[in-house]
Amino acid sequence: MGQDQTKQQIEKGLQLYQSNQTEKALHVWMKVLEKSADLVGRFRVLGCLVTAHSEMGRYKEMLKFAVVQIDTARELEDADFLLESYLNLARSNEKLCEFHKTISYCKTCLGLPGTRAGAQLGGQVSLSMGNAFLGLSLFQKALESFEKALRYAHNNDDAMLECRVCCSLGSFYAQVKDYEKALFFPCKAAELVSDYGKGWSLKYRAMSQYHMAVAYRLLGHLGSAMECCEESMKIALQHGDRPLQALCLLCFADIHRSRGDLETAFPRYDSAMSIMTEIGNRLGQVQVLLGVAKCWIARKALDKGSRPAMLPSPGPPLSAPSFPGSQGLCQTALPAALACACLSGSGCHRESPGPGRGSGKQARGCSASCGRTWCASTSAWRRPSSTAACAVSPSVRGTAGCRPCRAPTSSTSGACRTTGHGAAPTAAAPP
């Protein structure tokens, strides 16, 4: 296949992809990859395959094509191609939640000698690095990377990049609990789509609507959150965007949980977990498990929300959990803290509190020796210096029983005589 024919087939595949005929487009591109001897054409078609598999949630295939693209770039001995291929490799690892690898590849991109593509792709490299830092909860470094990406977007009049950065900033501020800014930036992204996005993919509108839905829910505007999430889900279904479908299902579940409709929330968490597991989004799996744990706590079923289950070894994604009211249920939700530790591949630095049963016994606290202990009555960690009364029964300040709330406990059941709460749960997320 010659150079001209390769270009024609790549364009044909792009037209099919833009008309939502994804499988046909992939078939055309794979044929080009098999038959074309033109290295530049092969590099371009590999880039198309990376993007398509990313939007379909096939992250392992995305990583495979990114590795092949790097080999092609090395054969071409062109710094611009090498930068682009390393960026695709960084993105692939970002999608698979391999955040340390993402940061390493992004630094490789930034360390390459100045190229023509460097000015155009530098913002995207900073954005990918910021997302990786955010995934590792390194908030200061994440914010610095996002601000750097935003400067690239403004300096190059790149509204598309600015839109993506605004969505990531919305996610950032949602995590640091600045909910007003968490709404402001996705709204800014939606404005950019409205003003400049006539020729853009609908995924940009869907992405901004999803982040607006998350912010509206956190602010308590559940009606607006539902409307935005429905709009995002509609576009995701239309384009076969599996990762966005999973995020929307998670958002729907969180909205129903905020409304107190737990029976409706559980099946949506179940569906979200199935897709998260299928595509390999381990961070998404953690978010689902946290939502499920909050549901059990909201039901005043702390024993079900915190009862330990058999955890798989770190690395492979968890199978979809099952919940009452949905199909194929297991009756125990994984504890949030242990699940997070398992999915991240490392243990939690703070050991979960043990049972503080019996009068005069204290709940075991943090293994990091910070002295914090878990209060079953307030569902919160308390410092040893705290002498505040129990939040449920402020008048109780006894010295026996639950150490944080100072409420006496039954010598037989271990339950708090004042509040009626049971012993401390066996796992909880530390502050």
Q: Phi/psi at 380 (nearest 5 deg)? A: -150, 160
From residue 234, alpha-carbon distances to 144, 291, 322, 399, 420 in Å are: 33, 23, 26, 57, 46
Which long-range contacts (C-beta less than 8 Å, at least 24 apart) are formed by 168-173? Answer: 168/127, 168/130, 168/131, 168/134, 170/211, 170/212, 170/214, 170/215, 171/134, 171/211, 171/214, 172/130, 172/134, 172/139, 172/142, 172/143, 172/146
pLDDT of residue 375: 56
Quote the mean pLDDT of the chain: 76
Give the best-scoring range by mean pLDDT among 161-175, 340-354, 417-431. Answer: 161-175
How does residue 298 score in pLDDT terms, banded at 50, 70 and 90? confident
pTM of the model: 0.70
CA dist., res. 397 & res. 314, Å (int)? 43
Under the banding of pLDDT at 50, 70 and 90, the label for residue 239 is confident
| Structure confidence at residue 13 (pLDDT) | 86
pLDDT tens figures, 44-99 = 999 999 988 988 889 999 999 999 999 999 998 888 889 999 999 999 999 999 99
Residue 201, CA distances (Å) to 53, 94, 198 in order: 16, 21, 8
For the beta carbon of residue 114, count every other beta carbon within 10 angstroms: 8
Note the pLDDT of residue 89: 94
As a three-state string, the secondary structure of 140-185 is: HHHHHHHHHHHHHHHHCCCHHHHHHHHHHHHHHHHHCCCHHHHHHH
The percent of residues above 70 in pLDDT, for the chain, comes to 68
pLDDT in tens, 244-296: 999 999 999 999 999 989 999 999 999 999 999 999 899 999 999 999 999 88
- Residue 349 pLDDT greater than 60, yes or no: no
| Distance (Å, whole) CA 374 – CA 227 | 38
Q: What do you get for the CA distance between the two ends of the chain, in Å?
A: 60
Top-confidence residue, 315 or 122: 122
Residue 299 pLDDT class (50, 70, 90 cuts): confident
- Of 357 and 39, which is predicted with more confidence? 39
Alpha-helical regions (H) of 220-241: 222-239
pLDDT band per the 50, 70, 90 thresholds, residue 150: very high
Element (H, E) at 382: strand 380-382
- pLDDT score, position 366: 45
Return the pLDDT at 126.
Answer: 94
Residues 387, 395 contacting (CB under 8 angstroms): no
Closest Cα to residue 24, out of 35, 38, 9? Answer: 9
